[in-house]
Structure formats: C-alpha cells, structure tokens
Structure 1
Amino acid sequence: MNYIKSILFLLTAFSFNSCSVYNFTGTGKIDAKTFQVNYFRNNAPLIEPGIERTFTLELQDLIQNQTNLNLVNSGGDLTYEGEIIDYRISPTTATADQRAAQSKLTISIKVRFTNKNKEADNFEKTFSFFHNYTGTDQLVGAKLTAALDEIFERITQDIFNESLAKW
C-alpha cells in the first residue's frame, strides 16, 4: 500500500512540475508576473462611441483568464497599448438595383507590445478582423454588440497569440 502511495505522490509531483513548462493556453513559461493594458484610443475616421473601452476591457479579461499574470495600472512587466485606427462599413455584394445585399464591418487596431524582461518580444503591429451582415440590416443595438463581440474576440486572441503564445 505504501508503494502505491509513493507512486501516486511522484506522479502528482511530476504533473505539477510539468505545468510550469507548458499550460493549456500554449503560453509556456512566461518570464513576467504582471501586465498592463493601457486605454486604447479611438482614432478611426468613423467613430463608434464606447468601442475603445469595450476593446480595452476585453483584452484585459482575455489575458487574465488565460494566464496567471496580475493586472496592474502601471509598471507592468508586459505592456499593451495602441489605438483603434479603422472602423469601416463597406458593401461587399450588390443587388440588381444597386443596393447592398451584404455589408462588412471591419475594425483595425494598432498594438504596441512591450516586454520589459525580453525586449526581443516587443512589437508594433496592426490587427484587423471583420463581420459580414445583411445589407438591409442596420448595425445598432444587439446586432452591433454581436458584431463587436465577434471582431474583438478574434483580434484579442490574435494579440494574445502574437505576444504570449507565439503561434
């Protein structure tokens, strides 16, 4: 019986030890303890009020949920900052009477990532994604919220992968 307990103890110890090398988010071992996400300004030519706050909070939430890093207001080991540089609605297909059959909302966000502990990881890059919708629909209320959720989920995951997961 003691032999079985010893084996279980060793297996458990090795399992916890291996978690420091790799975790399920793919981040591996991070040489940081804190991160900060500075407010992303909305500098797009077409302004949709409030999306800068929504994006900033969604990026903070994603990093907190997928890592064990602590969010700080300043002096973080990892810093995310930038601005929304494009918010565009454009027709993608037309009907016979020259009306939009389908439209596309595209959002582009420029991100500057700084890793105080590993400067080789620093980057400045633009991330962009889109949402297609029926041309007769207007993007307001729940439809706008659903479109923003889809776009921001993809962009924040792309930022996470570029900065921490290296995918």
Structure 2
Amino acid sequence: MKKNNMLRYRGWVVVLCLFQAWVCSSCGIYSFRGTTLASDIKSVTINNFSMATAGGPANLALQFNEKMKEYYQRNTNLALLPNNGDLQLEGSIVGYEVTPAAPTSNDQAALNRLTISIQVKFTNNKDEEKNFDQSFSFFKDFPQNQTLSQVESRLIPQILDQIVQDIFNKSAGDW
C-alpha cells in the first residue's frame, strides 16, 4: 500500500513540475542564472571603459572591459555586439584610491584600503525605464606592512569581480 501511494505522489510531482515548466516557458521572460530579461532582448554592447582617474595600473581599463564581457557571455545567452546592442554599457574608471582604514594610537594605519570606483551608463533600448547612470565601487583592505605594489595583482581582480557582479545584477538581474 505504501509503495502505491509513493508512486502516485511521484506522479503528481512530475505533473506539477511539467506544468510549472510550461507556464514559465510561455511567460515571454527568459531567466538565465539569476537574470530576468525580456524575451525581445537578444544582444549586449559593452563599450570600452576608459581611465578617468590618476593612479592604477595602465591595463586596469582593459582588465575591467574583459571581465565585463566574459561575465555577460558566461551568464546570459545574449550576443555580444560591437555596437547597437539591445543593452548597452559604457563608462569610465573614476576612482583608484588607497586610504588608511584602521588607524592606531601612534597615527599609523593598521590596514590600508584600496578602493576602485566605476561610473556606468546603462541603456536598455527596449525599456527606457531600466536605464541608469550610476557609480559602483568596492574595496579591499591590506596590511600596513605591505605595499600597494605587493598586493595590487591580488586585490584588483577581486575588486573588479565584485563591481562586475554588482553592475550585472543591476542591469540584467533587475535587482
């Protein structure tokens, strides 16, 4: 008797899952790995971000551009176009600063903080209400006994990864 009930239960679970898949597929909204994009959005253009600040490695803008493109390609099915995409991102790196983060009693910082800020203009050519022009920034702390040149190659990718994810969530995740 228990086996029959279990088989009947599994049958209903399968039917409900199929129904849910059918309903979701007919909504006209695609959802890829946490994104919610209208079905008429097929492409993205990521214009090269420029350096608009002093400081930072010479290839910082290139690193950021590549991370943005890779992230959108990896997390959506959108075609990456050189121009005129349904979604467009552009902007510049506007901040690269090292500041003391944890002062001590002898006027030295126990930690220093590397902060990178990026100004992003996002255009959704299918829905103007989703457009934004916003600054995104993130930081990482490092010990006072280490120089920036010692930690830059480790911290910059971590900071850029977080900023890219924040931009993606705002533009494609609809958060």
TM-score w.r.t. structure 2 length? 0.80
Alignment partner of 1:46 out of 47, 52, 55: 55
Matching residue of 2:24 = 18
**Deviation per CA, 1:119-165, whole angstroms, max 9, x where unpaired?**
11111000010000001112236x31221121111111111111111
Matching residue of 1:5 = none
Q: Is the 8 A contact 1:38 1:80 kept in 2?
A: yes
Is the alpha carbon distance of 1:61 and 1:126 closer, same or farther for their aligned partners in structure 2, counting shifts above 3 Å? same
Q: Is the 8 A contact 1:33 1:70 kept in 2?
A: yes
What is the aligned length?
Answer: 160
Give the root-mean-square deviation of aligned CA atoms. Answer: 2.4
Look up the SS of the partner of 2:58 in the other structure.
Answer: coil
The answer to which of 28-37 and 113-122 deviates more is 28-37
Alignment partner of 2:69 out of 41, 60, 66: 60
Q: Does 1:160 align with 2:172?
A: no
* % identity of equivalent residues: 33
Q: Is the 8 A contact 1:100 1:136 kept in 2?
A: no
Is the alpha carbon distance of 1:85 and 1:135 closer, same or farther for their aligned partners in structure 2, counting shifts above 3 Å? same
Is the alpha carbon distance of 1:120 and 1:75 closer, same or farther for their aligned partners in structure 2, counting shifts above 3 Å? same
CA–CA distance in 1 between the matches of 2:70 and 2:15? 35
Segments of 5+ residues of structure 2 without an aligned counterpart are 1-13
Larger Rg: 2
Look up the SS of the partner of 2:70 in the other structure.
Answer: helix
Look up the SS of the partner of 1:56 in the other structure.
Answer: helix
Alignment partner of 2:142 out of 128, 133, 143: 133
Q: Is the 8 A contact 2:36 2:174 kept in 1?
A: no
Matching residue of 1:149 = 157
Look up the SS of the partner of 1:140 in the other structure.
Answer: helix
Segments of 5+ residues of structure 1 without an aligned counterpart are 1-7
Q: Is the 8 A contact 1:113 1:122 kept in 2?
A: yes
